[in-house]
């Protein structure tokens, strides 16, 4: 198959690209490199099954190729990114989704939207299943990302209902692994890099808020299974093992042998107090659940950042 991935030079997009090429597919990557990194895909520069196009997907889209799939992953995806790029975040969720859905309709291709657990906002139920409608503040600082993804889901379902477009929606929960940016504001790379440098590890709030962490290989497997499935409903993809941020920090200190202490800062506005996926639908529809244990995934991620630090990055 020939597959277009928007945001294909980002963390998730580049790992999914590797997975799809390994499965024998041809990939076209669109990325404007605002938050993506060309180094994430540089190893594919001489691969005949891969083509990179620097392009902003909120602008006019055109391709000569026949496309079997469009995977829309383009978006700032961390609190630091969408705090600095609020309008771009809204545009790629709205205009970018509209442009890519239009291209899918023109090419008669299937379409997968990379949505997020942030559509649930600061949830009032735990764990969160796909029937939960969320608790989102549309005008808060996180609203630009939450509402962009909620709008993207609504637009995707509108194209499915009105035009009969074959669509998928992945609600992606916290994912981690190599190729993350050290300073992108997400908790795993932030704590790992502070621990490796023996710096104070920043905990927001009292550290009792919970998250669930899915290793990248499990996530790309889930995304591929979702592509190959026939379900058009949103599907939660994530690891249901819930833990507090304090527990995560202590685990990272143990794995790295760090001398870091913890330091506490004020909890950001609208920061979710709990986050845990109910993956019953993924188990039933995709026969999928994570298999990589947290200690294994964290060690691979720690080794990646150790290597980056030794290289002076």
pLDDT along the chain (313 residues), means of 10: 98 98 97 96 95 95 92 94 94 98 97 98 96 95 95 98 98 97 91 96 94 98 98 98 96 95 90 95 98 97 94 75
- Give the residue among 42, 32, 34, 41 at the shortest CA–CA distance from 12: 41
Are residue 59 and residue 151 in the same domain, yes or no? yes
Are residue 134 and residue 261 in the same domain, yes or no? no
CB 270 within 8 A of CB 140: yes
Look at residue 280 and tell me if it is in a domain: no
Structural domain span for residue 15: 2-175+213-237
Are residue 45 and residue 170 in the same domain, yes or no? yes
Q: What is the pLDDT of residue 33?
A: 96
Upstream peptide bond of 127 is cis (omega within 30 degrees of 0) = yes
Are residue 64 and residue 134 in the same domain, yes or no? yes
CA distances from 179 to 14, 73, 115, 198 (A): 9, 16, 20, 21
Look at residue 284 and tell me if it is in a domain: no
Beta strands in 88-188 (DSSP E): 110-116, 167-172, 175-176
Are residue 11 and residue 130 in the same domain, yes or no? yes
Which residues are known catalytic residues?
Answer: 145
- Give the residue among 12, 18, 4, 10 at the shortest CA–CA distance from 39: 10
Look at residue 160 and tell me if it is in a domain: yes
CA distance 168 to 75: 17
Are residue 112 and residue 196 in the same domain, yes or no? no
Are residue 137 and residue 257 in the same domain, yes or no? no
Convert 245-313 into a string of H (helix), E (strand) and C (coil): HHHHHHHHHHHHCCCCCEEEECCCCCCCCCCCECCHHHHHHHCCCCCCCHHHHHHHHHHHHHHHHHCCC
Look at residue 286 and tell me if it is in a domain: no
Look at residue 169 and tell me if it is in a domain: yes
Are residue 120 and residue 204 in the same domain, yes or no? no
CA distance 215 to 118: 18
Are residue 196 and residue 263 in the same domain, yes or no? yes
CA distance 48 to 220: 22
Are residue 11 and residue 153 in the same domain, yes or no? yes
Look at residue 60 and tell me if it is in a domain: yes
Look at residue 226 and tell me if it is in a domain: yes
Q: What is the pLDDT of residue 313?
A: 67
- The domain total for the chain is 2
CATH number at residue 296: 3.90.25.10
CATH number at residue 22: 3.40.50.720
Are residue 193 and residue 131 in the same domain, yes or no? no
Are residue 261 and residue 147 in the same domain, yes or no? no
Look at residue 190 and tell me if it is in a domain: yes
């Amino acid at each position: 198959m020939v597959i277009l991935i928007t945001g294909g030079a980002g963390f998730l997009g580049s790992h999914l690209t590797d997975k799809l090429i390994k499965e024998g597919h041809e990939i076209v990557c669109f990325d404007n490199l605002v938050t993506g990194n060309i180094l994430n895909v540089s190893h594919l520069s001489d691969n005949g099954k891969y083509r990179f196009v620097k392009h902003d997907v909120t602008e006019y889209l055109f391709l000569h190729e026949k496309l079997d799939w469009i995977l829309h992953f383009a978006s700032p995806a961390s609190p630091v990114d969408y705090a600095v790029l609020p309008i771009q975040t809204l545009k790629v969720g709205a205009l970018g989704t509209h442009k890519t859905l239009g291209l899918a309709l023109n090419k008669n291709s299937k379409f997968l939207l990379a949505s997020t657990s942030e559509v649930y906002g600061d949830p009032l139920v735990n764990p969160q299943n796909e029937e939960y409608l969320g608790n989102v503040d549309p005008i808060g600082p996180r609203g630009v990302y939450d509402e962009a993804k909620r709008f993207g889901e609504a637009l995707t379902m509108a194209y499915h209902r009105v035009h009969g477009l074959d669509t998928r929606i992945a609600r992606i929960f916290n994912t981690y692994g190599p190729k993350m940016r050290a300073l992108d504001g997400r908790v795993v790379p932030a704590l790992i890099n502070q621990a490796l440098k023996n710096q104070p590890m920043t905990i927001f709030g009292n550290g009792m808020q919970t998250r669930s962490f899915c290793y990248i290989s499990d996530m790309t497997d889930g995304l591929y299974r979702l592509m190959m499935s026939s379900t058009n409903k949103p599907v939660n993809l994530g690891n249901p093992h819930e833990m507090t941020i304090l527990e995560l920090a202590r685990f990272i200190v143990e794995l790295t042998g760090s001398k870091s202490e913890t330091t506490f800062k004020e909890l950001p506005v609208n920061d979710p107090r709990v986050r845990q996926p109910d993956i019953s639908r993924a188990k039933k529809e995709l026969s999928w659940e994570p298999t990589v244990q947290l200690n294994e995934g964290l060690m691979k991620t720690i080794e990646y950042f150790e290597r980056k630090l030794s290289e002076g990055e």
